[in-house]
Chain A
Amino acid sequence: MSTRPVHPAAAGTLSRRSLLVAAGALPLLAVVAGCTDAPPGADAVTPAQVDQLAEQVAVQEQLVAAYATAFTAAPDLAAAGTALADQAQAQLDRLRAAAPSVTGSATPSGGTAPAATGDPRADLRARVAAAAQSHATACLDFTGARAALLGSIAAGLRGQDGQLA
């Protein structure tokens, strides 16, 4: 999965615990494969968490699609929001890397999508806020690097929400 957060005391200097993708992915793959000797630790996940990660990937996929829909409906929004859309895609890429078994077929279960208002910007903002809330809530059910990733993405989307206001 994606890189871990950098220990604050080392930020900008040396990444003391900059474990790469395998640190989180290997325990996950072991669970998926039915292995019983997956190494314990904060980055290990249960089968239920695998499903939950798939849901968060689906939430993010829907957000990326919502950006495309909004840009089609409001080209002026595209001019201002391309960077936001690129960041949403980057978040999706990192989520997928954290959940390598996910195929993208999951359906978000955390409530229905916000109702459309006919205002592309307002609709997009509602989608961003809903995705942020979904990731923030899901973050609480994880530990280790995945909790950090979900929480960080939630924070990033809160920032986007403010930009779209």
Chain B
Amino acid sequence: MTSPSPSPASTSSSDDGEAGSTRAETAALQEALAAEHAAVWGYGTVGAALAGADRTPVVAAAESHRDLRDQVAAVLTARGADPVPTQAAYQLPFPVLSAVDAARLAVTLEEGTTSAWVWVLDQAAERSVRETAVAAACAAEVRAVSWRPQAGVTPVTTATPGLPAA
């Protein structure tokens, strides 16, 4: 069992190469892919804990993560890397027993993917990868902002998502 957040990738990063190298970029993309796998899985749990009328944003978020997952996997395959697969099982970071829990899990998933994509920005070599990464980080933070009120998380916004506090 693997926790869905942070990224479940178990890649040892001590030999991933210097930031800005193709090797480091590929390793960071693998981490992002692992985070997207976790998000796709996690949103299934989020949706199961919500009433039907509240599932619309869940469906949209899961679809966005699936699209991104497939896009990253294709990029990795094109460069000759084996995309990390989804885990057989993930461990929830806390029990999801209510709508508030579900929103907290959604926040956790979005923050996990944001961190992974900001890490990609730190490690990326190619401009096209940075384009994907900044768009993905922005989209994840927007979704996190929409979930935080339901999760009782304040403040609702963050100054520098994906980065440690100054």
- A residues adjacent to B (C-beta < 8 A): 2-12, 15-18, 41-43, 83-84, 87-88, 90-91, 93-94, 97, 132, 136, 139-140, 143-145, 147-149, 151-156, 158-163
Contacts and interface: CB of A to CB of B under 8 A. Distances in A.
8 contacts: A8-B35, A11-B7, A16-B14, A42-B18, A42-B123, A140-B130, A151-B133, A163-B157
Interface core residue of B139, B140, B141, B157 (most chain A CB under 10 Å): B157
A150 to B, nearest CB: 8
A159 B157 contact: yes
A151 to B, nearest CB: 4
A139 B19 contact: no
B160 A90 contact: yes
B157 A83 contact: yes
Contacts of A5: 115, 118-119, 121-122, 162-164
Interface in B120-166: 121-125, 127, 130-131, 133-135, 137-142, 144-146, 155-164, 166
Of the four ranges (under 10, 10 to 19, 20 to 34, 35 or more), the interface on chain B belongs to 35 or more
B114 interface: yes
Contacts of B137: 151-152, 154-155
Given A18-B164, A90-B160, A158-B142, A151 B18 contact: no
Interface of B: 6-7, 9-11, 13-14, 18-20, 31-32, 34-35, 112, 114-119, 121-125, 127, 130-131, 133-135, 137-142, 144-146, 155-164, 166
Contact of A162 (B145, B155, B163): B145
A152 to B, nearest CB: 4
Contacts of A7: 13, 31, 119
Contacts of A152: 118, 121, 137, 160-163
A97 B163 CA distance: 14
B166 A154 contact: no
A138 B155 CA distance: 27
A12 B142 contact: no
Contacts of A16: 13-14
Interface core residue of B11, B142, B163 (most chain A CB under 10 Å): B163
Contacts of A83: 155, 157
Given A148-B162, A155-B138, A155-B162, 16 more contacts: A5-B115, A5-B119, A5-B164, A7-B13, A9-B10, A11-B112, A41-B20, A42-B20, A88-B159, A94-B160, A139-B134, A144-B20, A147-B124, A151-B130, A156-B157, A158-B138
Given A11-B6, A11-B115, A152-B161, A4 B122 contact: yes
